[in-house]
Structure 1
Amino acid sequence: MAGTASDIPIKRRRMDDTDSIFTDFPGNIKRQLAIKLHDLCDTHGPALESLKFNNCNASDDNGGIAFSDAYCSVTPMKNKLFFGAIFVDGLIMISKFLEQGTVPGSKSERHVLAKLLDYIVDIGNEEVWHGRLDIIVNQDIGVSAVECDNTESLGGKTSAEVSTGLERNQQIIAQTVVFSFLQKQNQPLSKHFLFPCFGIEGTSLVIYFYDSEYDVLLQSSVIPLLVPGTSKSHPKVNLTAILVSWLAVNCKYLSSGLQETLKYKDETAGFFLQAKDKIKIYEKELKSGDVGVLVHSVSEAEDSYEVSPHGLNEARRRLYEVVWRRMEDS
């Protein structure tokens, strides 16, 4: 049986204007990408934890509440997820490219992969003018900037070690929940309704996800936007932050949705119960103006994690092969 377009290596496909980024992408950078993506499949990368509502003012008797006045008391549930557990589709897609040079057959997936590779390779030449272009976030993504109350200098610490207002942030949680319901209302035929909202404070990033079909709320661990450079250089952009942002921004194409173990009743966030008096408003009567933002900047024990979905293990294996094959070749 002939392979599908998604299984055909680029050298056997007709070239188009964007294909040079796939054929010319440096092998040494492939290995760096594979290492960071492999981290998203195990405990070395950022984690996701499920949050449960204790109480909130989502259906206050006195009327609507602005996001800035939202009250959400949440507690983390027992188990954690690897960040890659909800992006199996995207990780398999990019791992096939890194391992075999296979380019996605889907035009949309090919476009988002090319965007990532273009960004990482920069433009220009390091000996003359060069640099990264601005990142534009799609109209499907929510971004919330949190005002930093910590005036202390990082003093050599990573941003993840400095206390932030990003974790269990009431305003961002409220925005994430509403945004998911709005997307479900506007895109009822989506393959899943797990949508992200970014929280940014100083040099730290947290990504929240809420699924308005299964009532599951997830929060990533704090991800530093910068990592220390060499002793003589300024901090550098954290490649892990770039990769998780790329996955989340393109969740429409790359997210596999919730893994099955999170769809059980005892894993829900309890928002439906909290908002029961006004849940129909969240489900059918939300409104939006100009939703979307342009952005111009960019050790736990393993047995505490949920069982990895099968596809994540495939992506992990492919990425492992890329890492070790390139180490042997170098």
Structure 2
Amino acid sequence: MADSEREAPSACKRLKQDTIFEKFKTDFKDLGRLKSAYKSLCFDRRNPLIAQEIISCNAATGYGISFSRASCETRPYTQEIYPFGSIFTDGIELLNDFFTKTDYVPDNMTFRLLLAKLIHFLMDEKSHAAIRKIQRTDVSETELMIILAEHFFSRLSLSNTYSMDHFAKYKGNLLCKCGSCKPESLAANFDDTSIGNRDCWHGSLDILLGSTESFIHVASVEEELSPGEIAPFEVKLKNVEERRFRSQTLAQVIAFSFLQKASHPSLENFLIPCMAATKKELKIYFYDCKYDILLESRGIPLLVEIPGSNSQPLNFEAIIAAWLVLNYKYLCSGPFDSLLKAPKANFFKHAEPCLEIYEKELLYQHVGEQTTILDYGFLDITKPKFVWPSNLSCKPVDSENEY
């Protein structure tokens, strides 16, 4: 079959997608706030990515370390910061066309499907209500995994199937807080999500989208970000649980990047993301195991306060960020020149005795669990220079003066 025939959508599927686009244009009432959120997330210096240097970690102790006992202490490089959209220029171009061109519908079938997923979720008030509901009630980690996987992440990902850590189903109630999901259907989504190698970092991922497409680390703890401008700010880790959560997330995203490179060597880039999620916010990490680049975002709240209103709608910045990250294989453009010239994370140095294991011997599923001692650190961030990729065609002309 010719490539053009293989990529062409069926008449039925194309009609269904066109209906979604048309319905969005007529029924969506909050386009102004959506456009503002898109610009703020992708271009605003208040939503930066900060490059990190690893100071110490237990990635190569000579014996296996489970993710739950991982130690990964970092410090930020503060000379430059990078807008969130700078590594998603493909996704930014798609969104920019959608927001600026009348009656725009992508010709590319994959982009059409991706945009349809985003639009459908933006109009999915039942899922929005389910996510808002958990803000008002106490939820276990398992319950939080279920509602975020079923009503948020899988709705935005092109790979809408998902698996959850099968150990989690023994730790909490399998009922979804939305009140509509059937326990038996949710139980079927629990599976072996372990990755790594018994001789280095390894363990289970909380939520795995598709067939090792992307993953999410979920916890009930919160990270508190100090208010004010980007310079200065610091991440305050309030207790041991939060410190463990951050180290575990960093270990997972580093191991996952190596696993993706070994499993999918044809990927255009290996800047692989991970979302850390609580019931209040998302924080996003990226690691590139080819260029040894480690990035961290600020926390992005799931809900926003509307002045003069009692309602708390979902934060469009969080929705767009999750959509970009979950579909990074299609929307992430990878590290650009300035980012490639930034100082490295130095994981290669810290993991040197076991580096070949990370590069060639990581596994998916059937990986054992072990434990070790914890070690944690704090961050201190000073005023940075704001850096744009030179190839971002839709960069605002007055961006340097606007913020």
Distance 1:178 1:161, change over 3 A: closer
Q: Does 1:143 align with 2:143?
A: no
Helix, strand or coil at the partner of 2:394: helix
Supply the AA of the counterpart residue of 1:143: I
Partner of residue 103, structure 1:
105
What CA distance in whole angstroms lies between the structure 1 residues aligned with 2:395 and 2:18? Answer: 23
Q: Which residue of structure 2 lines up, in the alignment, with residue 85 of structure 1?
A: 86
For 1:46, give the aligned amino acid.
N
Flag structure 2 segments of 5+ consecutive residues without an equivalent.
1-12, 127-132, 134-146, 158-208, 225-233, 368-380, 398-403
Amino acid at match of 1:71: S
**Residue aligning to 2:187:** none
**Normalised by the size of structure 2, how large is the TM-score?**
0.62
Q: In structure 2, do the counterparts of structure 1 residues 161 and 273 end up closer, same or farther at CA, with 3 Å as the change threshold?
A: closer
The one of 220, 245, 252 aligned to 2:322: 245
Q: CA deviation at 1:106?
A: 2.0
- Superposed displacement of residue 201, structure 1: 2.5
Partner of 2:15, secondary structure, is: coil
- Using a 3 Å threshold, how does the CA distance of structure 1 residues 74 and 314 change in structure 2: closer, same or farther? same
Superposed CA deviations along residues 75-99 of structure 1, whole A, max 9, x for unmatched, are: 0012211111111110111111221
Offset of 1:21 from its aligned partner? 1.8
Shift of 1:195: 1.0
Pair 1:301–1:172, CA change in 2 (3 A): closer
Superposition pairs for residues 180-219 of structure 1, below 5 Å? 180-219=257-296
Look up the match of 1:304: 385
By how many angstroms is 1:45 displaced?
4.5
CA RMSD, 1 decimal: 3.3
Distance 1:103 1:179, change over 3 A: same
The residue number in structure 1 matching 2:4 is none
Deviations 1:284-321 (A, max 9, x none): 11001299xxxxxxxx9996222x1234351546xxxx
- Is the alpha carbon distance of 1:166 and 1:313 closer, same or farther for their aligned partners in structure 2, counting shifts above 3 Å? farther
| Distance across 2 between alignment mates of 1:112 and 1:74 | 34
Name the structure 2 match of 1:321. none
Distance between the aligned counterparts of 1:207 and 1:285, measured in 2?
Answer: 26
1:193/1:48 CA distance change after superposition, 3 Å: same
- Is this contact kept in 2: 1:167–1:206, CA < 8 A? no
TM score, norm. by length of structure 1: 0.75
**C-alpha separation in 2, matches of 1:91 and 1:121:** 21
Q: How does 1:119-268 map to 2 (within 5 A)?
A: 119-122=121-124, 134-135=151-152, 136=154, 137=157, 138-139=209-210, 140-148=213-221, 165=242, 169-229=246-306, 233-264=310-341, 266-268=342-344
Length, aligned pairs only:
280
Q: Is the 8 Å Cα contact of residues 259 and 362 (structure 2) preserved in structure 1?
A: yes
Structure 1 vs Structure 2: percent identity of aligned residues? 32
Q: In structure 1, the residue corresponding to 2:282 is in which secondary structure?
A: strand
Cα offset, 1:276, TM superposition: 0.9
Q: For 2:277 and 2:323, how far apart are their aligned partners in 1?
A: 15
